[in-house]
Chain A
Amino acid sequence: MKNLWVIDDDLILHFILKKKFEKEKDWLKARFIVDPTEAVREFNNAEKDMDNLPVVVLLDINMPQMTGWEVIEHIRSLGLYESPRCPKIIMFTSSISYSDQTRANQNEVKLITKPLNEADIQNIKDYVLSSSC
């Protein structure tokens, strides 16, 4: 089983992704998180319980509690980035502004712009499949 976290405040997106991942139930375990601070708490505990961490995180940029960039900063500050066990991160955003793309390049993370099309979904699945811990 591969673990995937979706961190996004948009419940409709959760619904859409659940549908899209339905067929992959036997190998993909997706967990949907509305509040990014909940995810941050789990990252804080990661030292004790590394196995709990997902292989890939789909991270929204604009969320009310904290932005996706702040989540990345936090993971970085925990020193998780150096660990081979650090989840791969795919950012996604509803906006099509340059600043997001520039920032994604600086942070060396993938950026997907919503709406997610079939190719994006396939890319995500492939990315999860190829990522191991």
Chain B
Amino acid sequence: MSNILKDALRIQDMFLSQKPKQEVFDLLLHFFLQHTQSEYGFIGEILHKKDNTPYLKTHAITNIAWNKETRDFYDNNAPNGLEFYNLKTLFGKVITDHEILISENPYTDKRRGGLPNGHPTMNNFLGVPLMHEGNIIGMFGIANTPVKYDDEMIKMIDPLINACVNVILGQKILNTNKNYQDLILEKNAVLENHLQRMNQFTHVVSHDVRKHTSNMESLINLLDDQESTLEMGFLKKSCEELRMTIDFLSKVVDIENPDDILNDSEINLKRLIETSFMILDNHENQIELELDIDQDLKLVIPSGHFKSIVNNILSNAIKYRDPKKNSFVKVKAEKKSKNLILSFSDNGLGFNYDDDPDTLWAWKKSYHNHEDSKGLGMFITDNHIKQLELDIRVYSSIGLGTSFELFIPLNRLK
């Protein structure tokens, strides 16, 4: 294998094994100079300003500083890349024309824009554009070979040129990925901040706001004992409605632990339903709970969403009970083929269910003419069911009651 090919492979290896970019480009420049016997040179990437004019940013450049000023400039800027905006130069010609440029006598070359005073002598110059899919992505320039820059020499170093194109492209992709990664991290931080504020909000609603409405309700009840007027009755009712709305809002957003939203956790089904029912019924025994669930039955499921589903179904059973009956809700869990079917059957008011699931879940109009029917609850429940990949069926009949069947895949069982 020729030395040049070996060197080109070494460059690609270094890049793939994620050696520092600086090291890779420095060695690459060293190889360019070595194989062409050149004295100095640079490798750069072509970037674009906002107005789309190209400029050169070096990834490696020989230190040709000739005085303190240029030495300082090199030391301060070379590690991060020097940027060249003046394209009225030999290398600028390469960038604008996308063509190889060989100059035998740079000092008299019409294409040059002149070198600054003190710049080392330049006897000859080779500039090669690095092309990818018709676009120029970079270039390298070398100078002062004792032999001759010609097509033959360019052909000889072709493997190095290819390696150079690959490294610059690879570098671009890495940068893009890094940008996406940064973007994701940034968005994530914003989300976490939102979640934190939502938790704060939940706490304020479920405790601080609720505390005052509770007190108002109690105080009005005290007053009501003494003077029962129509106004007092309305005030009492408004207060009660306000508290119920706040209760509803807090239950929608009540999450013990934000991790519960997405992460599986182990829950005891029977205990979960008993607890939910206890909170909803608030010891008022508005409705009787009959449970037919094995007390050792455990699910592994994101508990936040699952609780919210159970909550919603149970609270509907309580809300839409038939005051003329001894109300109950029967909750039963049984295994059938691939699912655990958790059914909630009540003897409540029931509703007209025309077998179109959209009407139920979208709940465009509340199907009970109940003042506190809140379609939002069913909408959220539906979303949670989809997220947990569960299935639900509903049967209902006016005057008889409603039955929800929640299909839980058996792999959710512990």
Contact = CB atoms under 8 A, between A and B. Distances in A.
Interface of A: 10, 12-13, 16, 19, 62, 93-99, 101-102, 105, 112-117, 119-120, 123
Contact of B215 (A62, A101, A113, A115): A115
A90 B219 CA distance: 22
A119 B307 CA distance: 27
B26 interface: no
A98 B283 contact: no
A120 B281 CA distance: 13
A97 B254 contact: yes
B214 A115 contact: yes
B283 A119 contact: yes
Contacts of B256: 97-99, 102
Kindly list the 6 A-B residue pairs having the minimum CB-CB distance in the complex, ordered from nearest: A94-B211, A115-B214, A95-B207, A114-B214, A95-B206, A12-B215
Nearest to B280: A96
A116 B211 CA distance: 11
Contact of A115 (B203, B218, B284): B218
B278 interface: yes
A10 to B, nearest CB: 7
Contacts, number: 70
**Interface SS, B side:** helix
A116 B250 CA distance: 18
A97 B275 CA distance: 11
Contact of B254 (A16, A19, A94, A96): A96
B222 interface: yes
B219 A105 contact: no
Interface in B169-209: 202-203, 206-208
A113 B7 CA distance: 77
Nearest to B205: A95
A9 to B, nearest CB: 10
18 contacts: A10-B211, A12-B215, A13-B215, A16-B222, A94-B210, A95-B207, A96-B206, A96-B247, A97-B256, A98-B275, A101-B275, A101-B279, A102-B256, A114-B211, A115-B214, A115-B218, A115-B243, A120-B283
Interface of B: 202-203, 206-208, 210-211, 213-215, 217-219, 222, 243, 247, 250-251, 254, 256, 275, 278-279, 282-284, 307
B279 A62 contact: no
B400 to A, nearest CB: 29
A13 B215 CA distance: 7
B283 A123 contact: yes
Nearest to B248: A96
A97 B250 contact: yes
Contact of A16 (B218, B251, B283, B284): B218
Nearest to B225: A19
Looking at B213, B218, B282, the one whose CB has the most chain A CB atoms below 10 A away is: B218
Contacts of A119: 283-284
Given A94-B211, A96-B250, A117 B284 contact: yes
A12 B284 contact: no
B243 A94 contact: no
B207 A105 contact: no
A4 B222 CA distance: 21
A101 B206 CA distance: 13
Contacts of A97: 202-203, 206-207, 250, 254, 256
A38 to B, nearest CB: 21
Contacts of A115: 213-215, 217-218, 243
A15 to B, nearest CB: 8
Looking at B211, B278, B282, the one whose CB has the most chain A CB atoms below 10 A away is: B211
